[in-house]
């Protein structure tokens, strides 16, 4: 795809995420007033990750246009840093976390929505906003992967970073339970301590698998084109 259409596409995706975040934060839900606020939900964290990532994409596109035909080595160096940051975020956060949120949410939702998204939330969150948080993330990140080649870090560094994020969020969820006595997700209320450990380990493994899927898919798309 041409550079300008890609720029417009990324800008549109960024604006959509900003709109989703603003509408979500404007909702007066009791859960937003409790300990941790919106930051206790992986869905909200993922929305922030996606918004920041596409913000960096847009900034990279603008910098690329501004430095085109410019022989300034300093500007070229700064652009390379932006590209490296963009690629790292895509590999470690935007793709694996985004795909994980979409697949896990809808898998549990289809099995028993009360475990992850109780019907009570329908009174606060409209259907379009729910899909904006839990559905469109996947096509948006796939579009980005298809339109732009991203340089993945070494597999060991990438997996270490993904594990750090996963374990960090699990510890955050456990800390919230320690402080409030309530689990962030109703699903966890039904699991015994030993099963919770297995569940958390499985979650960490799954998000690492999604990292590997992204790495393979990125290589397949761009090696095929080459």
pLDDT digits (tens, 9 = 90+) for 139-183: 999 999 999 999 999 999 999 999 999 999 999 999 999 999 999
Q: What is the pTM of this model?
A: 0.92
Q: Which two tokens stand for residue 210?
A: 């999604």
Task: Give the model's pLDDT for residue 72.
Answer: 72
Give the model's pLDDT for residue 76. Answer: 81
Per-residue pLDDT band at 1 (split at 50, 70, 90):
very low
Report the pLDDT value the prediction gives residue 69, as an integer from 0 to 100: 65
CB atoms closer than 10 angstroms to residue 149: 14
Contacts of 167 (CB under 8 A, 6+ apart): 204
Q: Token digits for 177?
A: 């339970």
Residues 21, 26, 27: CA angle, nearest 5 degrees: 105
pLDDT in tens, 201-224: 999 999 999 999 999 999 998 886
d(CA 88, CA 141): 14
Distance in angstroms (rounded) separating the CA atoms of residues 173 and 167: 10
User: What is the per-residue pLDDT across 166-175, written as a single tens digit (0 to 9) for each?
Assistant: 999 999 999 9
The model's confidence at residue 118, banded by pLDDT at 50, 70 and 90, is confident
| Average pLDDT over all residues of the chain | 91
pLDDT at 124: 87
Whether residue 4 is predicted with pLDDT greater than 60 in this model: the reply is: no
Q: Examine the pLDDT at 21 and tell me if it is beyond 60.
A: yes
Q: How confident is the model over 26-44, as pLDDT tens digits?
A: 888 887 888 989 999 999 9
């Amino acid at each position: 795809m041409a550079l300008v259409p890609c720029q417009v596409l990324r800008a549109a995706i960024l604006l959509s995420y900003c709109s989703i975040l603003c509408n979500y934060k404007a909702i007066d839900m009791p859960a937003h007033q409790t300990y941790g606020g919106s930051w206790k939900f992986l869905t909200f964290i993922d929305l922030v990750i996606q918004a920041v990532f596409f913000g960096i994409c847009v900034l990279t596109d603008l910098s690329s246009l501004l430095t085109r035909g410019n022989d300034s080595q300093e500007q070229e160096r700064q652009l390379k840093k932006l590209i490296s940051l963009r690629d790292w975020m895509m590999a470690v956060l935007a793709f694996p976390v985004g795909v994980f949120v979409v697949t896990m949410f809808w898998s549990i939702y289809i099995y028993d929505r009360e475990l992850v998204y109780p019907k009570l939330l329908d009174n606060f969150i409209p259907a379009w906003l729910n899909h904006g948080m839990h559905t469109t993330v996947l096509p948006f990140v796939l579009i980005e992967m298809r339109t732009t080649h991203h340089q993945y870090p070494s597999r060991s560094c990438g997996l270490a970073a993904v594990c750090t994020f996963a374990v960090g969020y699990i510890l955050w969820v456990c800390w919230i339970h320690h402080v409030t006595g309530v689990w962030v997700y109703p699903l966890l209320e039904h699991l015994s301590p030993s099963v919770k450990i297995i569940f958390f380990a499985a979650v960490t493994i799954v998000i690492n698998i999604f990292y590997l899927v992204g790495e393979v898919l990125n290589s397949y798309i761009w090696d095929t084109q080459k």
